[in-house]
Structure 1
Amino acid sequence: MRISPLPPLNSLVVFESAARHLSFTRAADELNVTQGAISRQIRHLEDYLGRKLFIRDKRSLSLTSTGMEYYDSIQQSLLLVAGATGNILQWQGDQQVTVVTTHAMASFWLLPRFNAFQELHPDIDVRILAVDSLKDIRHNEFDIALFFCHEAPADLTATPLFAENVFPVCSPGYLEKNPHIQHTEDMLKGTLLTLEVGEEWLSWQAWFRACNIEYKADAGPRMNINNYLLVIQSALNGQGLALGWENLVDDYLASGLLIKPVSTSVETTSQFLMLEPEQTARPKQGAEYFRKWLLSLI
């Protein structure tokens, strides 16, 4: 929907400065224009509004009641615009890097390793944006993105980081309560913690198919969850069996908080990719350092 009515936008900046200083001369100095230019912009704005904004006499300048009310609103609006602009410009420096990835990748893989990068490059500021889907990166400006996918979007440069092995995991307590789970097909009678996403995460149905086992949705109880962090948390709570992605759950396996109830594993055809916008200028130094650090982890 079109935003209307909008006054001449240049005139708003001039009006805010003149109203703040109550002086056309000081506004002209601040904006680096002539006093005549200030007068013309104010007159243009008043003509558009059909109201006087200033009371002019030979020795002073003051706001009309309309001018005072308008000034309060315009100044607040310009402050919001300036704040939003500043937030963007803050992350345009050579030593500032924006990384976009999923909540799961950020929580289970990137953040546990991030201290190593900070120790190597303490002068580089990294902003990590967690999103739910690869589609969401279109809404964010970024230097590097980390996603699991079969093919990268056509307008991004992709560098493979690693493929994935996917296998069942559960808590030791869950396996103790379900001693009948000894073979891969036995898991069909367990509580399968199912991730409800439509992208390239491997489903239980696809996983069993890769193991040449017929998947029957009604064979046992299911718990459907739309977030992988919650899937793993449910597994840690002893609520069922989850599909573990090797590079995401390796710390939990090493600590013994999660275990593999069976040894069966499926290697995915998709990979975790490092995605970068096509460069039109020299890459940021910070982004180059972050890129090299990621590749050193492979």
Structure 2
Amino acid sequence: MAIRLPPVHALSAFEAAARHGSFAIAAEELCITPSAFSHRIRLLEEFVGERLFLRDGRSVSLTEFGRRYLDVVRDALRSLADFPLPHRHPLAQPRVKITVPPTFARYLFLPHLADFTALYPDITIEVFLSVPLYDMALSETDLEIRFGAGKYPDTTTEKLFEEPVFPVVSPAYLEKIGGLKTPADLQKAQLLRSALEPWQAWFEVAGLDWPEPATGLRIDDLGLLLEAVRHGYGVALTRKHFAEEMIANGEVVPLFDIQLTTPQHAYYMVYEQSVRERPEVVLFMNWMMERFNMQSMT
């Protein structure tokens, strides 16, 4: 009697969706349209006679039956993948997709990425830029770097390093306004604004009972904010590792020796636990943790 088997293309779609927790990401991985991907999942659900996923907006999660079925499917797919095929073409190059904020990418990530590629030349790294403030959902990449409090629901979060925040100014602007000896002297300066680095928390640490500035130049990119300081537009808050080169070159100078070092001022690596099933991602995350934990000591 013929054995009725589920379609293999539907099984691979099921495994990919379970791994990513997203139909969209899984469809991209398999290079098919979202509608074709959904059709494969429906086909498999009709075959087993059970729902495999619970759908909640853009994310999906396995049903109890789906979790049990996933173990069986993965064992079957692993057996097929591990079977020796002497004439098989080489596997596609392993790759890791990472989403990073623009300024982190410019000042911290890219200067050190060559260290990883030298260690693992066979792993391709694809870098995507996130837009802070506007999209805090885990994007369709393997992991993200985020700056904040480290509390991101339904994700795994690992702290990379803390990043103290303090005000900086250009020497020319400092001379122009007659110097700044105490935090209270900031009342005669133009305070540059950014939603990424509001002043209120620093005011409190500095003993100033001032409201958040509501007027003046606002720039919601920290790299451009530093450039505005360098060009003499005023005083702004910046982060230690972003400004260290400009400080070393004398292009900007830190003020008052008062830093904001709350737990909210740290970089975190954010990802879904399923990506740890891929060795290239684990290698990259381990490198990130080692490299940027060292960063906190510099």
TM-score (norm 1): 0.62
Q: CA deviation at 1:277?
A: 0.9
For residues 248 and 146 of structure 1, the distance between their equivalents in structure 2, rounded to whole angstroms, comes to 15
Counterparts in 2 of 1:94 and 1:159: CA distance versus 1, 3 Å? farther
> Which residue is 1:120 aligned to?
119
Q: CA contact under 8 A between 1:181 and 1:187: conserved in structure 2? A: yes
Indicate whether 1:268 and 2:279 are aligned. no
Query: Which structure has the larger Rg over C-alpha atoms?
Result: 1
> Which residue is 2:240 aligned to?
246
Post-superposition Cα deviations, 1:35-91, rounded to whole Å, max 9, x if no partner, equal xxxxxxxxxxxxxxxxxxxxxxxxxxxxxxxxxxxxxxxxxxxxxx99x93899xxx
> Which residue is 2:224 aligned to?
230
Identity %: 25
Post-superposition Cα deviations, 1:236-271, rounded to whole Å, max 9, x if no partner, equal 212111101113222322333221132221212212
Counterparts in 2 of 1:93 and 1:257: CA distance versus 1, 3 Å? farther
Q: CA contact under 8 A between 1:193 and 1:241: conserved in structure 2? A: yes
Q: CA deviation at 1:184?
A: 1.6
Instruction: Calculate the aligned-residue CA RMSD, in Å.
Output: 3.1
Indicate whether 1:85 and 2:79 are aligned. no
Instruction: Extract unaligned runs of 5+ from structure 1.
Output: 1-80
> Which residue is 1:164 aligned to?
163
Partner letter of residue 139 of structure 2?
A: N
Counterparts in 2 of 1:203 and 1:282: CA distance versus 1, 3 Å? closer
Q: CA deviation at 1:176?
A: 2.4
Q: 1:203 aligns with which of 198, 215, 219?
A: 198
SS at match of 1:160: strand
For residues 282 and 212 of structure 2, the distance between their equivalents in structure 1, rounded to whole angstroms, comes to 47
For residues 230 and 98 of structure 2, the distance between their equivalents in structure 1, rounded to whole angstroms, comes to 28
For residues 255 and 122 of structure 1, the distance between their equivalents in structure 2, rounded to whole angstroms, comes to 34
Counterparts in 2 of 1:251 and 1:121: CA distance versus 1, 3 Å? farther
> Which residue is 2:61 aligned to?
none
TM-score (norm 2): 0.62
Partner letter of residue 127 of structure 1?
A: E
Counterparts in 2 of 1:86 and 1:185: CA distance versus 1, 3 Å? farther
For these two proteins, the number of residue pairs brought into alignment is 209
For residues 279 and 31 of structure 2, the distance between their equivalents in structure 1, rounded to whole angstroms, comes to 22
